[in-house]
Amino acid sequence: MTDIHPEVHERRILGTELLWAFGVGILIAATLGMIVFTALTMGINPPSNVERIDPKTLHLSGEFAEHNLGTTVSPAGDVTVRVVATQFMFVPRCIAVPRGRRVTLRLATPDVVHGILVTGTNVNTMVVPGFVAQVHTEFIRTGEMLMPCHEYCGIGHSEMWATVQVMSESDFKPGPDGRVSCAQR
């Protein structure tokens, strides 16, 4: 590069750098834009709402004690499903939800990182020890869906799944205590 004046050389480097910076800037803007777009239009949010829970005691009392797990309908009609993900099962193994209504899923784990996924819905989150994972969703069709664990959690990972029973509004009848269980077949 002896025949090029140093200042011209510098300017060329600057030009290339700015071009790359511009390209990367567009990529970052597109990525952030996509995150905001999917969050607003498809309800896709980062997993967990940064709500802490002690993994060592969550099963002893409070909302993740065994008698509180499963589906509960509040007097106001809000549907909340509480599930514990543990090596290597979900408790309960089947959850009942209504079709066409907003459902809040709340999950916690006492052991390692698990994940949940329901194909065709926005339900897709990790369940991290120490945190409550929360997802809002709405199921469109009645019938049974599979909710597998999709985060490798140990030797029994592939055997870990739950069933989601999506019921029509007439089948989804809470008992006097506001609880709904899967229909036995």
For residue 20, state whether it binds ligand CUA (rule: CB under 6 A): no
* Strand ordering across the sheet containing 143-148: 94-98, 161-167, 143-148
State the greatest distance between any 2 C-alpha atoms of the chain, in Å, as a whole number: 90
For residue 146, state whether it binds ligand CUA (rule: CB under 6 A): no
Residue closer to ligand CUA (CB basis): 150 or 179: 150
Residue 47 vs residues 64, 81, 123, 142, 155: alpha-carbon distances, Å: 18, 16, 10, 25, 24
User: Phi and psi for 41 in degrees, rounded to 5?
Assistant: -100, -30
Residue closer to ligand CUA (CB basis): 143 or 156: 156
By CB under 6 A, which span of 5-13, 26-34, 55-63, 147-155 interacts with ligand CUA? 147-155
Residue 68-107 contact track with ligand CUA, rule CB under 6 A, x = bound: -----------------x----------------------
Q: What contacts 100, CB < 8 A, 6 or more positions away?
A: 138, 139, 140, 169
- What amino acid occupies position 54? D
Residue 105-144 contact track with ligand CUA, rule CB under 6 A, x = bound: ---------x------------------------------
Taking CB under 6 A as the criterion, the residue among 134, 157, 172, 174 binding ligand CUA is 157
DSSP class of residue 116 equals: E
Distance CA 140, CA 44 (A): 16
Residue whose structure tokens are 């800037």: 25
Residue closer to ligand CUA (CB basis): 142 or 161: 161
Taking CB under 6 A as the criterion, the residue among 151, 164, 172, 180 binding ligand CUA is 151
Site size toward ligand CUA, by CB under 6 A: 8
Residue closer to ligand CUA (CB basis): 72 or 134: 134
Distance CA 80, CA 135 (A): 10
Q: Where are the alpha helices (DSSP H) in the chain?
A: 6-42
Where does this chain bind ligand CUA (CB under 6 A)? 85, 114, 149, 151-153, 157, 160
